[in-house]
A and B are shown apart, each in its own frame.
Chain A
Amino acid sequence: MNRALVNRLLAGIALSLLAGAAFGQTIKIGLVTALSGQSARAGEAITRGLTVAIDEINAKGGVLGRKLELVRRDDEATPAKGVIAARELLYKEKVTVLFGGLDTPVSIAIVPIVNEAKVPFMGPWAAGTPITRNGANPNFVFRVSAVDEIVDKAMLQYSQKAFNAKNCGMILVNNPWGESNEKGLSAALSAQGMKPAGIEKFEGNDVDVVPQLTRLKAAGADCLFLVGNVGPSAQVVKSLDRMGWKPPVVSHWGPAGGRFTELAGPSAKDVHFIQTYSFFGKQSPVGEKVLKALMAKYPDVKGAGDVTPAVGVANAYDGMMLTAMAIQAAGSTDGPKIREGFYKIGKYEGLIKTYAKPFTSDNHDAVNENDYVWTQFIDNQILPVGMKK
């Protein structure tokens, strides 16, 4: 056997090994979210939604003939840690698509990195308006979740409809998420020729919010718009209890992210907050399928009440399904092609709704005001308002 033939044979073997490796290689889906701290439950919910969707996709053969694999990192709800985790997932783990978590400040910090890396970023929770409307061109950030600007309009409408409120005050966590909602709520009020009774901020680790609430009470507030994650929201509720003041509290979805009833006490049930999905009540076929899959995979899920916070599970599930469709439409794991793939998605019967062309070049948010559900905590479960357990 001459030398050239041996070389050709070796090259052939190497090529076939490489091809085999590429065929067997998984498509990595990254997730940067809070897996510890006050919002750990929310991170776990996102994980579960993604996992159930990935299992379903992989059972059908994966995407582009390759299985999907979830790679998670904990951002500890801190932008600096989120940025480090995102860079690791993008450049070391080489994820094809990156999913974000529930903290707007963390997602806002990650947005420029994914746009520079040209890797699609899917937001299944953080609602800050500038996350998707970030001014970048091309913009690689998509979202299957609420958007502050739209939520704020819904909060105003709900306060008027449910409580006949006329002079609401804002109590907002002092971070970019709070700022985003301050703008949104002010704009929503202004559109109706109204002004807030007052705008008060509080720190995430404040023990006592009585001084801020006392100012709002003195200003004649007849309801409160609350924006804060689970821990800070609980501090507001406990402070209201100490004051003996019981105004209607209309909240963004922060309380859904953890043990709100345990942290806030019995008055937790008086906070009405927004969600995009509830597993209670009659479910669509997709809802029944996902609930069944969750119960089969996680022993602690015995029924709808154990899927909490449901919004994390539902948004992540639909977000993953739409992402898989975008990769399939792109026919590649190349970031810019997947970005175009999102625009090619037509109709998809999802968990939250049936999506019809969910993303366009002008709209990177798949969920709108028609998809919101108003909920409250009854014991440790999130139920639609008025629905008894």
Chain B
Amino acid sequence: MLVTSALISGLALGSMYGLLALGFHVTYAVSRTVNFAQGSAMMVGAVLAYTFAVTLGWPFVPAALVALALCAAYGVLVELVAVRPFARRGSNAWLMATVALGIVADNTVLFTFGKEPRGFSLSWAQGSIHIGGLNVSVLQLVIPAVGLALALALSLFSRRTRTGKAMLAVVQNPDAARLMGINVPLTISLAYAASAAFAGAAGMMIAPLFNVHSDMGTLFGLKAFAVAILGGLGSAWGVMLAGLIFGATESLITALLGSAYTQILSFALVIAALAFMPNGLFGRAEAKKV
């Protein structure tokens, strides 16, 4: 029962790590850049959903949809302001620029949303069901289901739609894609929009379990990056699975050995895994032309 309970908790949390890490994957695959402040995008999603659903009293679904759309717009802004100007010149300064923009976002929310964390309870998320003698909250089942559904949607989008195929073309060869008439800058912007929307969705789902405040995404962003590297940045399903593995591992270590060992062992295992598989658990080594 201890192990089952830990696994259920870990998989719910792990799917959130996976969803955030999926955001790293999308932009890295298309542009070889990432938004290092992905945790801030997650926070923006939670804060916007809270504002619409609680402060303004909208029904949850429209509140969530508008929040996701605004998150996507935030992702486009990140790309336009903190990535494109530097990547265009071949500079790696986007690394710091995305972190800086995340700090700006965190502090803007601190001053506008307020300093105190707020509770975001959803009536439909309060329920629980009994499975094999265990009490499992509905949200703990919904979160991994939504996480995996979004990963599947990304997979279908990239293979079945024109825009998705354009993204794949940019991944394979940006110059050839440009010559074929694909708008590469727009495609990269779309990737950043999707990345921020994934983070926003994660923020909205985690908020009822946690609370909403301006720095809620910091630690999540950090863990999600570790997950993205563990899974292999180039593999969509890899990062999602790595998220689930990381979340379950964290939870199992806590349940079996005690919380004192959680961070030490979970990150030590990440280092050990990368030492044996430098491209991540599911990543492939890239061919480099010399």
* A residues apposed to B, CB below 8 Å: 35-38, 40-41, 174, 200-203, 205, 207-208, 210-212, 214-215, 218, 231, 234-235, 238, 241-245, 258-259, 262-265
In the assembled complex, 15 residue pairs joining A and B whose CB atoms fall closer than 8 Å, in A order, are A38-B213, A174-B260, A203-B263, A208-B251, A210-B9, A211-B9, A214-B1, A214-B255, A218-B2, A234-B119, A242-B135, A242-B140, A259-B118, A262-B119, A263-B118
Given known contacts A242-B128, A242-B140, is B117 in contact with A265 (CB within 8 Å)? no
The 6 closest A-B pairs by CB, nearest first: A244-B135, A36-B115, A211-B254, A211-B255, A262-B119, A263-B119
Instruction: From B61-69, B173-181, B204-212, B280-288, give the one contacting chain A.
Output: B204-212
Given known contacts A201-B259, A259-B118, is B128 in contact with A235 (CB within 8 Å)? no
- Which chain B residues in 137-165 approach chain A with CB under 8 Å? 137, 140
Query: How far apart sit A207 and B251, CA to CA, in the bound complex (Å)?
Result: 11
Residue among A212, A234, A259 making CB contact with B254, cutoff 8 Å: A212
Contact A210 B258 (CB under 8 A): no
Is there a chain A Cβ closer than 8 Å to B194's Cβ?
no
Kindly list chain B residues whose C-beta atoms are within 8 Å of the C-beta of A202: 259
A242 — nearest CB in chain B belongs to which residue? B137
Query: How far apart sit A231 and B140, CA to CA, in the bound complex (Å)?
Result: 20
Given known contacts A243-B135, A264-B119, is B209 in contact with A208 (CB within 8 Å)? yes
Contact B135 A201 (CB under 8 A): no
Contact A174 B5 (CB under 8 A): no
Q: How far is the CB of B44 from chain A (nearest CB, A)?
A: 18
Most chain B CB atoms below 10 A, which of A40, A210, A211, A263: A211
Q: CB-CB contacts of B200-234 with A at 8 A, as 1s and 0s?
A: 00000010011101001001000000000000000
Interface size class of B (residues with CB under 8 A): 35 or more
A265 — nearest CB in chain B belongs to which residue? B121
Kindly list chain A residues whose C-beta atoms are within 8 Å of the C-beta of B137: 241-242
Query: How far apart sit A89 and B6, CA to CA, in the bound complex (Å)?
Result: 47
Is there a chain A Cβ closer than 8 Å to B105's Cβ?
no
Contact A36 B209 (CB under 8 A): no
Q: How far is the CB of A317 from chain B (nearest CB, A)?
A: 23
Contact A207 B209 (CB under 8 A): yes
Q: How far is the CB of A41 from chain B (nearest CB, A)?
A: 7
Query: How far apart sit A205 and B218, CA to CA, in the bound complex (Å)?
Result: 10
Is there a chain A Cβ closer than 8 Å to B13's Cβ?
yes
Query: How far apart sit A245 and B1, CA to CA, in the bound complex (Å)?
Result: 14
